[in-house]
Protein backbone atom coordinates (compact mmCIF):
# COMPACT_ATOMS: atom_id res chain seq x y z
CA UNK A 1 0.00 0.00 0.00
CA UNK A 2 2.81 2.43 0.86
CA UNK A 3 4.59 1.71 -2.43
CA UNK A 4 1.38 2.30 -4.35
CA UNK A 5 0.68 5.55 -2.49
CA UNK A 6 4.19 6.79 -3.14
CA UNK A 7 4.79 5.61 -6.71
CA UNK A 8 1.57 4.34 -8.40
CA UNK A 9 -1.39 6.20 -6.97
CA UNK A 10 -3.66 5.70 -9.95
CA UNK A 11 -2.93 1.95 -9.98
CA UNK A 12 -4.04 1.71 -6.34
CA UNK A 13 -7.31 3.51 -7.05
CA UNK A 14 -8.09 1.46 -10.15
CA UNK A 15 -7.27 -1.83 -8.37
CA UNK A 16 -9.63 -0.98 -5.52
CA UNK A 17 -12.35 0.01 -8.01
CA UNK A 18 -11.96 -3.21 -10.00
CA UNK A 19 -12.08 -5.40 -6.87
CA UNK A 20 -15.19 -3.64 -5.56
CA UNK A 21 -16.89 -3.79 -8.97
CA UNK A 22 -16.17 -7.52 -9.27
CA UNK A 23 -17.60 -8.30 -5.83
CA UNK A 24 -20.71 -6.20 -6.31
CA UNK A 25 -21.53 -7.45 -9.81
CA UNK A 26 -20.30 -11.05 -9.27
CA UNK A 27 -18.75 -10.98 -12.71
CA UNK A 28 -16.17 -13.60 -13.54
CA UNK A 29 -12.52 -12.40 -13.30
CA UNK A 30 -12.36 -12.67 -17.09
CA UNK A 31 -14.10 -9.28 -17.31
CA UNK A 32 -10.79 -7.67 -16.27
CA UNK A 33 -9.48 -8.43 -19.74
CA UNK A 34 -11.54 -5.49 -21.05
CA UNK A 35 -9.83 -2.70 -19.03
CA UNK A 36 -6.48 -4.39 -19.66
CA UNK A 37 -7.18 -4.42 -23.40
CA UNK A 38 -8.18 -0.75 -23.27
CA UNK A 39 -4.90 0.01 -21.50
CA UNK A 40 -2.96 -1.82 -24.21
CA UNK A 41 -4.72 0.28 -26.85
CA UNK A 42 -3.76 3.49 -25.02
CA UNK A 43 -0.14 2.32 -24.71
CA UNK A 44 0.01 1.58 -28.42
CA UNK A 45 -1.61 4.91 -29.28
CA UNK A 46 0.77 6.90 -27.07
CA UNK A 47 3.78 4.73 -27.74
CA UNK A 48 5.32 2.21 -25.29
CA UNK A 49 8.20 4.53 -24.35
CA UNK A 50 6.12 7.63 -23.49
CA UNK A 51 3.50 5.45 -21.75
CA UNK A 52 6.08 3.84 -19.45
CA UNK A 53 7.74 7.21 -18.85
CA UNK A 54 4.37 8.70 -17.90
CA UNK A 55 3.74 5.80 -15.49
CA UNK A 56 7.12 6.43 -13.77
CA UNK A 57 6.72 10.24 -13.72
CA UNK A 58 5.42 10.20 -10.12
CA UNK A 59 8.41 8.15 -8.96
CA UNK A 60 10.86 10.51 -10.66
CA UNK A 61 9.10 13.50 -9.14
CA UNK A 62 9.27 11.98 -5.61
CA UNK A 63 12.93 11.00 -5.97
CA UNK A 64 13.85 14.53 -7.11
CA UNK A 65 11.89 15.99 -4.24
CA UNK A 66 13.66 13.82 -1.64
CA UNK A 67 17.11 14.35 -3.19
CA UNK A 68 16.72 18.15 -3.21
CA UNK A 69 18.76 20.52 -0.98
CA UNK A 70 18.09 20.54 2.76
CA UNK A 71 16.89 17.87 5.22
CA UNK A 72 14.72 15.17 3.52
CA UNK A 73 12.50 14.64 6.57
CA UNK A 74 11.60 18.30 6.65
CA UNK A 75 10.53 18.17 3.04
CA UNK A 76 8.49 14.98 3.50
CA UNK A 77 6.56 16.72 6.28
CA UNK A 78 4.98 18.87 3.55
CA UNK A 79 2.78 16.39 1.51
CA UNK A 80 1.37 19.14 -0.65
CA UNK A 81 4.86 19.90 -1.86
CA UNK A 82 5.77 16.20 -2.23
CA UNK A 83 2.79 15.57 -4.52
CA UNK A 84 2.85 18.93 -6.26
CA UNK A 85 2.02 18.96 -9.95
CA UNK A 86 -0.17 15.85 -9.69
CA UNK A 87 -2.50 17.22 -12.36
CA UNK A 88 0.35 16.73 -14.82
CA UNK A 89 1.87 13.35 -13.90
CA UNK A 90 -1.15 11.48 -12.44
CA UNK A 91 -3.16 11.23 -15.72
CA UNK A 92 0.00 10.10 -17.49
CA UNK A 93 -0.12 6.88 -15.45
CA UNK A 94 -3.48 5.80 -16.95
CA UNK A 95 -2.42 3.54 -19.90
CA UNK A 96 -0.03 1.34 -17.90
CA UNK A 97 -2.10 1.66 -14.69
CA UNK A 98 -5.09 0.02 -16.39
CA UNK A 99 -2.99 -3.03 -17.29
CA UNK A 100 -1.30 -3.33 -13.89
CA UNK A 101 -4.53 -2.73 -11.93
CA UNK A 102 -6.40 -5.37 -13.96
CA UNK A 103 -3.64 -7.88 -13.26
CA UNK A 104 -3.58 -7.07 -9.53
CA UNK A 105 -7.37 -7.32 -9.26
CA UNK A 106 -7.28 -10.68 -11.05
CA UNK A 107 -4.65 -12.01 -8.60
CA UNK A 108 -6.73 -10.79 -5.64
CA UNK A 109 -9.86 -12.47 -7.05
CA UNK A 110 -8.00 -15.74 -7.56
CA UNK A 111 -6.52 -15.74 -4.06
CA UNK A 112 -9.82 -14.80 -2.48
CA UNK A 113 -11.88 -17.33 -4.43
CA UNK A 114 -15.61 -17.02 -5.14
CA UNK A 115 -17.70 -17.00 -1.95
CA UNK A 116 -20.78 -16.31 -4.07
CA UNK A 117 -21.53 -17.87 -7.46
CA UNK A 118 -20.47 -15.77 -10.40
CA UNK A 119 -23.09 -14.11 -12.51
CA UNK A 120 -23.37 -15.57 -16.04
CA UNK A 121 -22.21 -13.12 -18.61
CA UNK A 122 -23.58 -12.18 -22.02
CA UNK A 123 -21.48 -14.84 -23.76
CA UNK A 124 -22.84 -17.53 -21.42
CA UNK A 125 -26.40 -16.28 -21.99
CA UNK A 126 -25.97 -16.39 -25.77
CA UNK A 127 -24.42 -19.86 -25.61
CA UNK A 128 -27.23 -21.05 -23.33
CA UNK A 129 -29.92 -19.74 -25.69
CA UNK A 130 -28.31 -21.49 -28.66
CA UNK A 131 -27.94 -24.81 -26.84
CA UNK A 132 -31.51 -24.62 -25.54
CA UNK A 133 -32.80 -24.27 -29.09
CA UNK A 134 -30.60 -27.09 -30.41
CA UNK A 135 -31.56 -29.47 -27.60
CA UNK A 136 -35.23 -28.81 -28.17
CA UNK A 137 -34.65 -29.81 -31.80
CA UNK A 138 -33.33 -33.13 -30.51
CA UNK A 139 -29.62 -32.49 -31.11
CA UNK A 140 -28.45 -34.24 -27.94
CA UNK A 141 -25.28 -35.83 -29.35
CA UNK A 142 -21.93 -34.19 -28.62
CA UNK A 143 -18.58 -34.82 -30.25
CA UNK A 144 -17.92 -37.87 -28.07
CA UNK A 145 -20.99 -38.47 -25.97
CA UNK A 146 -24.40 -37.13 -25.04
CA UNK A 147 -25.79 -34.01 -23.38
CA UNK A 148 -27.94 -34.19 -20.23
CA UNK A 149 -28.43 -30.44 -19.69
CA UNK A 150 -26.88 -26.99 -19.81
CA UNK A 151 -24.48 -25.78 -17.13
CA UNK A 152 -26.17 -22.68 -15.72
CA UNK A 153 -23.00 -20.80 -14.84
CA UNK A 154 -21.22 -21.17 -18.19
CA UNK A 155 -23.96 -22.01 -20.68
CA UNK A 156 -21.98 -25.05 -21.84
CA UNK A 157 -23.22 -28.61 -22.28
CA UNK A 158 -23.31 -30.95 -19.31
CA UNK A 159 -21.78 -33.82 -21.26
CA UNK A 160 -21.30 -37.50 -20.54
CA UNK A 161 -18.70 -39.03 -22.87
CA UNK A 162 -18.92 -42.62 -24.05
CA UNK A 163 -15.64 -43.41 -22.32
CA UNK A 164 -17.12 -42.21 -19.04
CA UNK A 165 -20.38 -44.07 -19.70
CA UNK A 166 -18.49 -47.36 -20.13
CA UNK A 167 -17.95 -47.23 -16.37
CA UNK A 168 -21.73 -47.10 -15.90
CA UNK A 169 -24.26 -44.28 -15.74
CA UNK A 170 -27.04 -44.08 -13.18
CA UNK A 171 -29.89 -41.63 -13.74
CA UNK A 172 -31.66 -41.32 -10.40
CA UNK A 173 -34.37 -39.09 -9.00
CA UNK A 174 -37.77 -38.91 -7.41
CA UNK A 175 -39.57 -38.17 -10.68
CA UNK A 176 -39.86 -41.20 -12.97
CA UNK A 177 -40.67 -38.96 -15.96
CA UNK A 178 -37.52 -36.88 -15.45
CA UNK A 179 -35.38 -40.01 -15.10
CA UNK A 180 -36.90 -41.43 -18.29
CA UNK A 181 -36.25 -38.24 -20.26
CA UNK A 182 -32.59 -38.06 -19.25
CA UNK A 183 -31.91 -41.72 -19.98
CA UNK A 184 -33.71 -41.39 -23.30
CA UNK A 185 -31.55 -38.39 -24.24
CA UNK A 186 -28.41 -40.50 -23.83
CA UNK A 187 -29.95 -43.34 -25.84
CA UNK A 188 -30.91 -40.95 -28.66
CA UNK A 189 -27.40 -39.48 -28.61
CA UNK A 190 -26.05 -43.02 -29.15
CA UNK A 191 -28.48 -43.50 -32.03
CA UNK A 192 -27.27 -40.24 -33.58
CA UNK A 193 -23.70 -41.58 -33.25
CA UNK A 194 -24.94 -44.76 -35.03
CA UNK A 195 -24.07 -47.09 -32.20
CA UNK A 196 -25.84 -50.35 -31.59
CA UNK A 197 -28.48 -49.59 -28.94
CA UNK A 198 -30.58 -51.85 -26.71
CA UNK A 199 -33.38 -50.07 -24.83
CA UNK A 200 -35.38 -51.90 -22.16
CA UNK A 201 -38.24 -49.84 -20.74
CA UNK A 202 -39.54 -51.15 -17.41
CA UNK A 203 -40.84 -47.77 -16.23
CA UNK A 204 -44.16 -47.98 -18.08
CA UNK A 205 -43.51 -45.16 -20.56
CA UNK A 206 -43.51 -47.46 -23.56
CA UNK A 207 -45.51 -45.44 -26.10
CA UNK A 208 -43.67 -42.20 -25.44
CA UNK A 209 -40.31 -43.96 -25.51
CA UNK A 210 -41.23 -45.80 -28.68
CA UNK A 211 -42.28 -42.57 -30.42
CA UNK A 212 -39.03 -40.80 -29.50
CA UNK A 213 -36.84 -43.75 -30.48
CA UNK A 214 -38.70 -44.26 -33.77
CA UNK A 215 -38.25 -40.59 -34.70
CA UNK A 216 -34.54 -40.68 -33.79
CA UNK A 217 -33.99 -43.84 -35.85
CA UNK A 218 -35.78 -42.33 -38.83
CA UNK A 219 -33.69 -39.15 -38.64
CA UNK A 220 -30.42 -41.11 -38.36
CA UNK A 221 -31.49 -43.91 -40.73
CA UNK A 222 -30.79 -46.48 -38.06
CA UNK A 223 -32.52 -49.88 -38.35
CA UNK A 224 -35.08 -50.32 -35.57
CA UNK A 225 -36.35 -53.62 -34.20
CA UNK A 226 -39.16 -53.50 -31.64
CA UNK A 227 -39.67 -56.75 -29.75
CA UNK A 228 -43.26 -57.94 -29.93
CA UNK A 229 -43.93 -56.47 -33.36
CA UNK A 230 -44.96 -58.80 -36.15
CA UNK A 231 -41.95 -60.78 -37.33
CA UNK A 232 -39.75 -59.53 -34.45
CA UNK A 233 -39.85 -62.58 -32.19
CA UNK A 234 -37.08 -63.09 -29.65
CA UNK A 235 -36.32 -66.51 -28.19
CA UNK A 236 -32.64 -67.06 -27.37
CA UNK A 237 -33.54 -70.26 -25.49
CA UNK A 238 -34.44 -72.07 -28.70
CA UNK A 239 -31.09 -71.50 -30.41
CA UNK A 240 -28.66 -72.03 -27.54
CA UNK A 241 -27.00 -75.22 -26.30
CA UNK A 242 -28.95 -76.68 -23.36
CA UNK A 243 -26.33 -75.71 -20.77
CA UNK A 244 -26.30 -72.07 -21.89
CA UNK A 245 -30.08 -71.99 -22.24
CA UNK A 246 -30.36 -73.28 -18.67
CA UNK A 247 -28.19 -70.39 -17.52
CA UNK A 248 -30.53 -67.94 -19.26
CA UNK A 249 -33.57 -69.55 -17.64
CA UNK A 250 -31.92 -69.39 -14.22
CA UNK A 251 -31.17 -65.70 -14.78
CA UNK A 252 -34.74 -64.74 -15.68
CA UNK A 253 -36.36 -66.54 -12.73
CA UNK A 254 -36.76 -65.09 -9.25
CA UNK A 255 -34.63 -67.06 -6.77
CA UNK A 256 -35.21 -64.89 -3.71
CA UNK A 257 -34.52 -66.70 -0.42
CA UNK A 258 -33.15 -69.74 -2.30
CA UNK A 259 -29.81 -71.14 -1.18
CA UNK A 260 -26.89 -71.58 -3.56
CA UNK A 261 -27.06 -75.38 -3.18
CA UNK A 262 -30.76 -75.44 -4.07
CA UNK A 263 -30.17 -73.22 -7.09
CA UNK A 264 -27.41 -75.55 -8.26
CA UNK A 265 -29.73 -78.56 -8.11
CA UNK A 266 -32.45 -76.66 -9.99
CA UNK A 267 -29.96 -75.58 -12.65
CA UNK A 268 -28.88 -79.17 -13.26
CA UNK A 269 -32.49 -80.32 -13.51
CA UNK A 270 -33.44 -77.53 -15.95
CA UNK A 271 -30.40 -78.32 -18.08
CA UNK A 272 -31.59 -81.91 -18.42
CA UNK A 273 -35.11 -80.70 -19.23
CA UNK A 274 -33.85 -78.37 -21.94
CA UNK A 275 -31.72 -81.13 -23.41
CA UNK A 276 -34.79 -83.31 -23.59
CA UNK A 277 -36.77 -80.52 -25.28
CA UNK A 278 -33.97 -80.01 -27.81
CA UNK A 279 -33.84 -83.73 -28.61
CA UNK A 280 -37.59 -84.43 -28.63
CA UNK A 281 -38.77 -83.70 -32.14
CA UNK A 282 -42.39 -83.86 -31.07
CA UNK A 283 -41.94 -81.39 -28.20
CA UNK A 284 -43.96 -78.22 -27.87
CA UNK A 285 -40.94 -76.12 -28.81
CA UNK A 286 -41.70 -76.78 -32.44
CA UNK A 287 -45.31 -75.77 -31.88
CA UNK A 288 -44.32 -72.43 -30.33
CA UNK A 289 -44.68 -73.35 -26.65
CA UNK A 290 -41.16 -73.98 -25.31
CA UNK A 291 -41.76 -72.06 -22.08
CA UNK A 292 -44.97 -74.01 -21.36
CA UNK A 293 -43.17 -77.25 -22.19
CA UNK A 294 -40.34 -76.39 -19.80
CA UNK A 295 -42.84 -75.50 -17.08
CA UNK A 296 -44.45 -78.93 -17.48
CA UNK A 297 -41.12 -80.74 -17.27
CA UNK A 298 -40.28 -78.82 -14.09
CA UNK A 299 -43.33 -80.28 -12.35
CA UNK A 300 -42.82 -83.35 -10.14
CA UNK A 301 -42.44 -86.42 -12.35
CA UNK A 302 -42.65 -84.41 -15.58
CA UNK A 303 -39.14 -85.14 -16.75
CA UNK A 304 -39.31 -88.86 -15.93
CA UNK A 305 -42.58 -89.22 -17.81
CA UNK A 306 -41.20 -87.48 -20.90
CA UNK A 307 -38.08 -89.63 -20.89
CA UNK A 308 -40.24 -92.75 -20.75
CA UNK A 309 -42.43 -91.86 -23.72
CA UNK A 310 -40.50 -89.45 -25.93
CA UNK A 311 -38.58 -90.53 -29.03
CA UNK A 312 -35.34 -88.68 -28.37
CA UNK A 313 -33.08 -88.21 -31.38
CA UNK A 314 -29.91 -88.33 -29.31
CA UNK A 315 -27.01 -90.75 -29.14
CA UNK A 316 -26.36 -90.61 -25.40
CA UNK A 317 -29.96 -91.23 -24.37
CA UNK A 318 -28.93 -93.53 -21.54
CA UNK A 319 -26.53 -90.95 -20.10
CA UNK A 320 -29.23 -88.27 -20.26
CA UNK A 321 -31.71 -90.57 -18.54
CA UNK A 322 -29.17 -91.31 -15.83
CA UNK A 323 -28.49 -87.64 -15.21
CA UNK A 324 -32.19 -86.83 -15.12
CA UNK A 325 -32.90 -89.64 -12.66
CA UNK A 326 -30.02 -88.51 -10.45
CA UNK A 327 -31.24 -84.87 -10.51
CA UNK A 328 -34.76 -86.00 -9.62
CA UNK A 329 -33.46 -88.19 -6.80
CA UNK A 330 -31.39 -85.36 -5.30
CA UNK A 331 -34.35 -82.99 -5.54
CA UNK A 332 -36.60 -85.48 -3.77
CA UNK A 333 -34.03 -85.65 -0.97
CA UNK A 334 -33.87 -81.86 -0.59
CA UNK A 335 -37.27 -80.38 0.23
CA UNK A 336 -35.95 -76.82 -0.08
CA UNK A 337 -34.65 -77.45 -3.61
CA UNK A 338 -37.88 -79.23 -4.57
CA UNK A 339 -39.92 -76.24 -3.36
CA UNK A 340 -37.64 -73.87 -5.30
CA UNK A 341 -38.11 -75.91 -8.50
CA UNK A 342 -41.87 -75.93 -7.98
CA UNK A 343 -41.81 -72.14 -7.61
CA UNK A 344 -39.75 -71.91 -10.80
CA UNK A 345 -42.34 -74.06 -12.60
CA UNK A 346 -45.08 -71.71 -11.43
CA UNK A 347 -43.15 -68.70 -12.75
CA UNK A 348 -42.59 -70.40 -16.12
CA UNK A 349 -46.28 -71.32 -16.34
CA UNK A 350 -47.24 -67.71 -15.57
CA UNK A 351 -44.92 -66.50 -18.30
CA UNK A 352 -46.31 -69.03 -20.78
CA UNK A 353 -49.84 -67.72 -20.23
CA UNK A 354 -48.88 -64.02 -20.42
CA UNK A 355 -49.12 -61.79 -23.47
CA UNK A 356 -45.33 -61.34 -23.62
CA UNK A 357 -44.97 -65.09 -24.16
CA UNK A 358 -45.75 -64.32 -27.79
CA UNK A 359 -42.30 -62.72 -28.04
CA UNK A 360 -40.61 -65.99 -27.13
CA UNK A 361 -41.75 -68.15 -30.05
CA UNK A 362 -40.05 -68.93 -33.35
CA UNK A 363 -41.15 -66.72 -36.29
CA UNK A 364 -44.25 -68.15 -37.90
CA UNK A 365 -44.05 -66.25 -41.19
CA UNK A 366 -42.22 -67.80 -44.10
CA UNK A 367 -39.67 -65.01 -44.34
CA UNK A 368 -39.43 -64.27 -40.65
CA UNK A 369 -36.17 -64.47 -38.76
CA UNK A 370 -35.60 -64.52 -35.02
CA UNK A 371 -34.24 -61.41 -33.34
CA UNK A 372 -30.61 -61.92 -32.35
CA UNK A 373 -28.73 -59.51 -30.11
CA UNK A 374 -25.47 -60.64 -31.71
CA UNK A 375 -26.83 -59.63 -35.12
CA UNK A 376 -28.13 -56.36 -33.69
CA UNK A 377 -24.73 -55.44 -32.24
CA UNK A 378 -22.86 -56.40 -35.38
CA UNK A 379 -25.32 -54.52 -37.61
CA UNK A 380 -25.59 -51.46 -35.32
CA UNK A 381 -29.32 -51.93 -34.95
CA UNK A 382 -31.58 -50.34 -32.35
CA UNK A 383 -33.55 -52.90 -30.34
CA UNK A 384 -36.47 -51.64 -28.26
CA UNK A 385 -38.22 -53.78 -25.65
CA UNK A 386 -41.15 -52.47 -23.60
CA UNK A 387 -42.34 -55.44 -21.49
CA UNK A 388 -44.20 -53.08 -19.10
CA UNK A 389 -44.27 -54.88 -15.72
CA UNK A 390 -47.16 -52.64 -14.68
CA UNK A 391 -49.35 -54.40 -17.23
CA UNK A 392 -47.63 -57.79 -17.60
CA UNK A 393 -46.43 -58.26 -14.03
CA UNK A 394 -43.63 -60.73 -13.33
CA UNK A 395 -43.59 -62.15 -16.91
CA UNK A 396 -42.57 -58.73 -18.21
CA UNK A 397 -39.68 -58.64 -15.75
CA UNK A 398 -38.68 -62.18 -16.74
CA UNK A 399 -38.42 -61.24 -20.41
CA UNK A 400 -36.29 -58.23 -19.51
CA UNK A 401 -33.99 -60.40 -17.37
CA UNK A 402 -33.71 -62.87 -20.23
CA UNK A 403 -32.59 -60.11 -22.61
CA UNK A 404 -30.05 -58.78 -20.09
CA UNK A 405 -28.63 -62.27 -19.43
CA UNK A 406 -28.40 -62.93 -23.18
CA UNK A 407 -26.60 -59.62 -23.64
CA UNK A 408 -24.18 -60.35 -20.79
CA UNK A 409 -23.20 -63.64 -22.42
CA UNK A 410 -22.71 -61.89 -25.77
CA UNK A 411 -20.61 -59.05 -24.34
CA UNK A 412 -18.53 -61.48 -22.32
CA UNK A 413 -17.63 -63.39 -25.48
CA UNK A 414 -16.75 -60.20 -27.34
CA UNK A 415 -14.69 -58.97 -24.42
CA UNK A 416 -12.74 -62.23 -24.34
CA UNK A 417 -12.00 -61.83 -28.06
CA UNK A 418 -11.03 -58.18 -27.62
CA UNK A 419 -13.80 -57.10 -30.03
CA UNK A 420 -15.43 -53.82 -29.02
CA UNK A 421 -19.22 -53.90 -29.15
CA UNK A 422 -19.49 -50.09 -29.47
CA UNK A 423 -23.04 -50.15 -28.17
CA UNK A 424 -25.24 -48.57 -25.52
CA UNK A 425 -27.60 -50.39 -23.18
CA UNK A 426 -30.34 -48.34 -21.55
CA UNK A 427 -32.56 -49.90 -18.86
CA UNK A 428 -35.17 -47.55 -17.44
CA UNK A 429 -36.75 -48.70 -14.19
CA UNK A 430 -33.91 -51.17 -13.70
CA UNK A 431 -34.69 -52.16 -10.09
CA UNK A 432 -36.61 -55.40 -10.92
CA UNK A 433 -33.67 -56.74 -12.97
CA UNK A 434 -31.76 -57.52 -9.79
CA UNK A 435 -28.41 -56.61 -8.32
CA UNK A 436 -26.55 -59.65 -9.71
CA UNK A 437 -27.38 -59.13 -13.38
CA UNK A 438 -26.86 -55.37 -13.19
CA UNK A 439 -23.47 -55.81 -11.51
CA UNK A 440 -22.37 -58.27 -14.19
CA UNK A 441 -23.51 -55.91 -16.93
CA UNK A 442 -21.69 -52.93 -15.40
CA UNK A 443 -18.51 -54.99 -15.02
CA UNK A 444 -18.46 -55.71 -18.77
CA UNK A 445 -18.75 -52.06 -19.81
CA UNK A 446 -15.09 -51.14 -20.24
CA UNK A 447 -13.99 -54.62 -21.36
CA UNK A 448 -16.53 -54.74 -24.21
CA UNK A 449 -16.83 -51.04 -25.09
CA UNK A 450 -20.43 -50.87 -23.86
CA UNK A 451 -22.04 -47.80 -22.33
CA UNK A 452 -24.53 -48.88 -19.66
CA UNK A 453 -27.25 -46.37 -18.67
CA UNK A 454 -29.51 -47.35 -15.78
CA UNK A 455 -32.59 -45.43 -14.67
CA UNK A 456 -33.90 -45.75 -11.12
CA UNK A 457 -36.04 -43.74 -8.76
CA UNK A 458 -34.87 -42.88 -5.27
CA UNK A 459 -34.54 -45.85 -2.93
CA UNK A 460 -32.23 -48.55 -1.63
CA UNK A 461 -31.51 -49.92 -5.11
CA UNK A 462 -30.61 -46.46 -6.38
CA UNK A 463 -28.27 -45.84 -3.46
CA UNK A 464 -26.55 -49.18 -4.02
CA UNK A 465 -26.07 -48.57 -7.75
CA UNK A 466 -24.74 -45.05 -7.15
CA UNK A 467 -21.65 -46.54 -5.55
CA UNK A 468 -21.04 -48.88 -8.50
CA UNK A 469 -21.22 -46.49 -11.45
CA UNK A 470 -18.76 -43.95 -12.80
CA UNK A 471 -21.37 -41.29 -13.64
CA UNK A 472 -24.33 -40.22 -11.52
CA UNK A 473 -27.01 -37.97 -13.01
CA UNK A 474 -29.36 -36.88 -10.22
CA UNK A 475 -32.76 -35.34 -10.94
CA UNK A 476 -34.22 -33.39 -8.00
CA UNK A 477 -37.93 -33.85 -7.30
CA UNK A 478 -38.18 -30.40 -5.67
CA UNK A 479 -36.46 -28.77 -8.66
CA UNK A 480 -37.47 -30.83 -11.70
CA UNK A 481 -35.57 -28.58 -14.07
CA UNK A 482 -32.18 -29.12 -12.38
CA UNK A 483 -29.61 -31.84 -13.02
CA UNK A 484 -26.63 -32.66 -10.80
CA UNK A 485 -23.85 -34.43 -12.72
CA UNK A 486 -21.08 -36.28 -10.88
CA UNK A 487 -18.26 -37.95 -12.81
CA UNK A 488 -15.54 -39.90 -11.03
CA UNK A 489 -13.11 -40.27 -13.93
CA UNK A 490 -11.11 -39.97 -16.06
CA UNK A 491 -11.91 -36.25 -15.67
CA UNK A 492 -13.54 -35.92 -12.25
CA UNK A 493 -16.13 -33.17 -11.96
CA UNK A 494 -19.34 -32.25 -10.20
CA UNK A 495 -21.55 -29.70 -11.92
CA UNK A 496 -25.12 -28.46 -11.76
CA UNK A 497 -27.05 -28.03 -14.96
CA UNK A 498 -30.51 -27.20 -16.22
CA UNK A 499 -32.45 -29.80 -18.14
CA UNK A 500 -34.19 -28.71 -21.33
CA UNK A 501 -37.79 -29.88 -21.52
**What does the H/E/C string look like for 210-222?**
HHHHHHHHHHHCC
Looking at 17-26, 169-178, 189-198, 382-391, which range is the least confident one? 17-26
**Nearest alpha-carbon partner for 500 in 79, 137, 1:** 137
What b/e readout covers 17-48, taking b as 16+ CB neighbours within 10 angstroms?
ebbeebeeeebbbebbeebbeebeeebeebee
Cα 36 off chain centre by:
42
**Per-domain boundaries in the chain:** 2-119, 141-227+371-498, 236-360
H/E stretch holding 486 reads strand 482-487
Cα gap 386→454, rounded to integer Å:
15
Cα gap 265→379, rounded to integer Å:
38
pLDDT digits (tens, 9 = 90+) for 295-309: 888 887 777 777 776
Q: What is the pLDDT of residue 324?
A: 79
Quick one: pLDDT band at residue 163, thresholds 50, 70, 90? very high
pLDDT digits (tens, 9 = 90+) for 342-372: 999 999 999 988 888 877 765 454 455 678 8
Average pLDDT value for residue range 70-84? 56
pLDDT digits (tens, 9 = 90+) for 365-391: 445 567 889 899 999 999 999 888 888
| Residue percentage of the chain with pLDDT more than 70 | 84
Selected from 3.40.50.300, 2.60.40.10, 3.90.230.10, 3.40.50.150, the CATH number assigned to the domain covering 141-227+371-498 reads 3.40.50.300
Average pLDDT value for residue range 7-11? 76
pLDDT digits (tens, 9 = 90+) for 185-238: 999 999 999 999 999 999 888 788 999 999 999 999 999 998 877 666 788 887
**Nearest alpha-carbon partner for 352 in 407, 296, 390:** 296
Q: What is the pLDDT of residue 66?
A: 60
Q: What is the pLDDT of residue 372?
A: 86
Q: What is the pLDDT of residue 69?
A: 59
Looking at 218-227, 287-296, 313-322, 427-436, which range is the least confident one? 313-322
Mean pLDDT value across the chain: 83
Cis bond before residue 118 (omega within 30° of 0)? no
Q: What is the pLDDT of residue 67?
A: 61
Quick one: pLDDT band at residue 455, thresholds 50, 70, 90? very high
Looking at 46-50, 70-74, 168-172, 449-453, which range is the least confident one? 70-74
In a 3-state reduction of DSSP, which class is residue 186?
A: helix
| Angle value at C-alpha 168, between 167 and 174, nearest 5 degrees | 150
Looking at 314-328, 409-423, 472-486, which range is the least confident one? 314-328
Amino acid sequence: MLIHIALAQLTLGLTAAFVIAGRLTRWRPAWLAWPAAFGVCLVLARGPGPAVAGYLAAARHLIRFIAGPGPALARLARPSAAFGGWRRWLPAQLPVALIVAAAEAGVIARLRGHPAPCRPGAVAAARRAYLTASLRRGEVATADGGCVGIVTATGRRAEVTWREAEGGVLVAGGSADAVTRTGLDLAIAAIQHRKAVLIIDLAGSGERTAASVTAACAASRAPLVRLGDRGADYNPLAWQPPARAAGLVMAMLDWAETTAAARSLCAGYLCCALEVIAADRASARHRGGMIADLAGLARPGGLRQRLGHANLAIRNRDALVSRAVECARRLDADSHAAAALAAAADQLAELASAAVAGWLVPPRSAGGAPVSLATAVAGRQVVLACPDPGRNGLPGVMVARLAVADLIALLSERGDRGASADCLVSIDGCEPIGRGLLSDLLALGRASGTSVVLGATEGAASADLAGRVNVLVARDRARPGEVALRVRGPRPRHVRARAVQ
